Amino acid sequence: FRIHTSETTADLLEILGGFNLEFRGVTEIKVNIFTWENFVALSFIFVF
For 1-48, the pLDDT digits (tens) are 777 888 888 899 889 988 888 888 887 777 666 665 556 655 555 554
Q: What is the DSSP string of 1-48?
A: ------HHHHHHHHHH-------------------HHHHHHHHHHHH-
SS3 8: helix
Domain boundaries, the chain: 7-47
Give the model's pLDDT for residue 15: 92
The pTM is what?
0.49
Contact indicator for 13, 7 with CB cutoff of 8 Å? no
